[in-house]
Structure 1
Amino acid sequence: MKYLKRDPRNGNWLYRRVVPKVLKSWVSQTEFVISLGKTQNDALTQYGTHHQKIEHMIALAKMGVSGLSPAEQRARLKAMLEVWGADPHSAGRDDEERTWREEAAAKIVDRYQDPVTGEYEGVPEEEAVKARALLGGVTKNSPEPTVTDAFNFYLRENAKDTPEKRKKQEQRFRRAERNLIAALGGDKAVSQLTREEVRRWRDMRIEAGAAAGTIKREKSDLSTVINTARSELDVRGDNPFENLKLPKSNVSRRDEREGLPENVIAGVYAQLEAGPPDLLAIWTLLDFTGARPSEIRELNVGEIVLDHDVPHLVITEREGRSLKTSWSIRKVPLVGKAFTEARKLVKEDADASAPVFPRYSREGGMDRLSQALNGRIRKLSDNPKHVTYSLRHNMSDRLRAAEVYDATQRAIQGHSFGRGEAASYGGDIPLEKKREALLTAMKVHE
């Protein structure tokens, strides 16, 4: 809470913020100073409301209100009136307020008035909307949520916990939003969506050449957003995406990726022998644990446990690091080359919370890692199904070939144990059992 300050005179809490340059022509003061109460709890409760008002004002000054959904437009105009000290839902509380609001509206539109006829001509919608808000306020009730409102709300409420993941999430959902709005011919109230329109979206995506798997994932995202709007924004009606018939994929999910041929795995090792050492360590850990690339690149030093009867990695959620599912939380034994590399990575005086792979753990690291490793794979194979993630498929194949018990396979790779009672009872597979499985699967003799 950047603008939460303590008043040194009386100890009260304030929202205190220098007026941004973009608002200099909108407000007369040089600083926003708003009392938030005597206690910190009061301040924390009120901070968000006042901060949002000013952020709406900044957005209004920078981008205006054109092209917004009715709800977004109302929110920005309401914030404008409230920051000015005006009643947002009327023409003014008294004659003095009504007078200055009329004068402010006149300054906006008077230059568009014909001096002969007195008629207003060519007033841009952007300025007309502001003038109308000054003259009459905005409605008390927020307009019905549109598709854009539903997406904005969903992304606000379900934002990923790191900038990198939020960026990818935003790109993915905004792409789905654009495709739906293109099929609709424009933004539309969520409650007014019809089955015919979502079929039109599906047909449009098919005609555009989107893969069946892509359409299925996009439909799932759209359906999730609509369901969230129904439960959280009081949107009425059924979800028209439910049970929508989709094209069948010619490629199973299992076949979207293939395990790497042994010569390719060995070839990447050979390329990495000259360095860099962190990339060799990542490749080795991926190969010998079957973990996801994101799980390895985000490891902290304290999550490599060597002083244990069974040395292992701890893959867990923490601040700044989320996992695909709760089943992904696990311990994976370090065997063979993985143990050798892990010993090089952990120094005696190292900070347990420090990232093991700083080059790849920060924002943009996943893309850099994929480019670095996939580039080396591509020198050995032009098969698009051969990528770094393929090493997880290799591990699955090795565990099955070694006739490792299914639950142990799942425990090693962080897969769900299923649904219902099978997934609800029992603890994790012991580290010793996982270690035995990996030693057999990787043909390591220790």
Structure 2
Amino acid sequence: MRNVTVKYLRKNDRTGSFEYRRRVPKSLEKLVTKREFLKVLGKTQSEAVMRYGAEHEKIEHLVSLAKFGVTGLSPMEQSKKLAALLESWDADPHSAGRDDNERTWRGEAAAQLVDKYQDPTSGEYVGVPEEDGLLASALLVGVSKETPQVTVTDAFAAYLNENALKIPEQHKKQRQRFARSEKNLIFVLGGDKPLQEVKRSDARRWRDMRLKQVSPSTVRRERNDIGAVFSWAVSEMEGAGEVNPFKGMKLEAPKEGRRDQRLPLDQVVIDSVYNDLQTHKDLLQIWTLLDYTGARPSEIRMLLVSEIVPSDPVPHIIIQPRADNTLKSTWSERKIPLVGPALEVARELVEGKKGLEPAFPRYAVEGGQDRLSQALNRRIREHTDNPKHVAYSLRHNMKDRMRSAEVFPEKAKAIEGHAFSAGQDGSYGGGYPLEQLQDSLEKSLKNYRRRTPV
């Protein structure tokens, strides 16, 4: 197995085994008496890595318990955290104790928590804080083995944990988007509820409320996110029920098609932005590549120097997935020929640089996509107040140029990174030679901007 680095995984040089070894965080010092967590996970690294996740999750539950307690949580989260705490004390999490000795110290620990709330006259416990009561109960009887009902918050948390996007910037936006959907749904429900209790009528009330607040397209996106969470939970989580109340729920059809959501830029706007960017070299280079390739802004901003190939017989850029760069779809992976001013920009970008450097370091970082969009759209907005005119509009301009030049539709899709036609024609073969795509671009850009600032 290739060596991997896992934060708390260590090899014991004496025994040769692999261990989970972690100093007890300060937040846990009052709950956990030992100085470090230590558990043998396996004789090989591969075996240890497979078991690492469960052990790490247990410790993280303890850290969360110390920071936030167990009140205000769903039954599932309460059970996980209390079970993790009992296990950290080497106690059986699902009973009162394995033997008389364990049952004795657990009873004494529970008494220390709640005896001070016992009324000496009646013998009843009065005013026991919920936190102390839950912990005392876990000490006395353990945590039930039965899986608690899955609530809305449980489902969202588990879904995002299982389907988290790998790139930090994308993951952050994913969590923010789902958090908004979760918050709006819980507001309609009047609080966190078990998934089994969420009915179709609740889904319709959510829909009606959101349609009064935001556009139908936003409601549709939120419905898709919530529906994905419910469907995944029903399929993967015990206690989530069997029905997704958001499945098949009708929404008003969009009043405008996808092609109307962004519109091509007028040529005077394109030319004006070129002029405005003369003193902003990297933005001018990005604008030129967008204009002459029809690529997506996200694809251009993430280019590495090694993915810009101006010296090839057919100069081109390479759009490909990387660990720090995902693509919209598998069809997005492609090579786009460089013609005209785009080729000159490419030569500038590779001169004196190393292959693994980002071509645009200011924008190939977390938050770079938003920063790039704001920078370009701000210039565009100085010359048009149409909200459908944005940097992405240059893809629509390129589409129109290829249509006007009567470029074969499949070749246009190969340049744009769109899926080929359905059926056998789209399922076979490896695409088009770069020479043919170069011809198509040159034909589309013939006489375009003869006087360029680049």
What TM-score results when the alignment is normalised by the length of structure 2? 0.93
Residue 191 (structure 1) aligned to one of 181, 196, 206: 196
Residue 396 (structure 2) aligned to one of 393, 401, 404: 393
- Asked whether the 8 Å contact 1:7–1:13 carries over to 2, the reply is yes
| Match in the other structure for 1:90 | 95
In the superposition, relative to structure 1, how do residues 113 and 374 fare at CA in structure 2: closer, same or farther (>3 Å)?
Answer: farther
Which range is displaced more, 180-189 or 407-416?
Answer: 180-189
Aligned mates of 1:90, 1:110 — CA distance in 2: 21
CA shift at 1:115, angstroms? 4.2
CA shift at 1:336, angstroms? 1.1
| Match in the other structure for 1:29 | 34
Matches within 5 A, 1:158-307: 158-208=163-213, 210-234=214-238, 235-275=240-280, 277-307=281-311
Aligned residue identity for 2:227: S
Give deviations 1:395-424, integer Å, cap 9, x for gaps: 122222222111111111111124443432
SS in 1 for 2:37: strand
Instruction: State yes or no: 1:414 paired with 2:417.
Output: yes
Which range is displaced more, 25-34 or 83-92?
Answer: 25-34
Aligned mates of 2:146, 2:16 — CA distance in 1: 37
Aligned mates of 2:373, 2:241 — CA distance in 1: 43
SS in 1 for 2:362: helix
What TM-score results when the alignment is normalised by the length of structure 1? 0.95
Aligned mates of 1:79, 1:422 — CA distance in 2: 56
| Match in the other structure for 2:442 | 439
| Match in the other structure for 2:3 | none
Residue 57 (structure 2) aligned to one of 49, 52, 64: 52
SS in 2 for 1:141: coil
Aligned mates of 2:425, 2:89 — CA distance in 1: 60
CA shift at 1:58, angstroms? 0.3
Matches within 5 A, 1:346-357: 346-348=350-352, 350-357=353-360
Aligned mates of 1:369, 1:134 — CA distance in 2: 55
Aligned mates of 1:120, 1:366 — CA distance in 2: 58
| Match in the other structure for 1:367 | 370
After superposition, the CA RMSD in angstroms is 1.8
Gaps of 5+ in 1: none
Which range is displaced more, 176-185 or 187-196?
Answer: 187-196
Aligned mates of 1:273, 1:125 — CA distance in 2: 65
Residue 151 (structure 1) aligned to one of 136, 150, 156: 156
Aligned mates of 1:76, 1:249 — CA distance in 2: 45
Task: Give the aligned length.
Answer: 443
Aligned mates of 1:268, 1:121 — CA distance in 2: 72
In the superposition, relative to structure 1, how do residues 102 and 408 fare at CA in structure 2: closer, same or farther (>3 Å)?
Answer: same
Runs of 4+ in structure 1 deviating by more than 6 angstroms, as ranges, are none
Give deviations 1:25-73, integer Å, cap 9, x for gaps: 1111212222223222222122222111111100111111222222122
| Match in the other structure for 1:38 | 43
Aligned mates of 1:418, 1:119 — CA distance in 2: 75
Aligned mates of 2:15, 2:148 — CA distance in 1: 42
Gaps of 5+ in 2: 1-5
- Asked whether the 8 Å contact 2:410–2:421 carries over to 1, the reply is no
CA shift at 1:121, angstroms? 2.4
- Asked whether the 8 Å contact 1:161–1:321 carries over to 2, the reply is no
Aligned mates of 1:432, 1:187 — CA distance in 2: 59
In the superposition, relative to structure 1, how do residues 196 and 325 fare at CA in structure 2: closer, same or farther (>3 Å)?
Answer: same
Aligned residue identity for 1:346: V
Give deviations 1:337-383, integer Å, cap 9, x for gaps: 111111100035x3322211111111111111112111111222222
Aligned mates of 2:137, 2:354 — CA distance in 1: 60
Aligned mates of 1:133, 1:37 — CA distance in 2: 30
Aligned mates of 1:183, 1:253 — CA distance in 2: 30
Instruction: State yes or no: 1:141 paired with 2:146.
Output: yes
Residue 336 (structure 1) aligned to one of 334, 340, 355: 340
In the superposition, relative to structure 1, how do residues 76 and 422 fare at CA in structure 2: closer, same or farther (>3 Å)?
Answer: farther
CA shift at 1:444, angstroms? 5.1
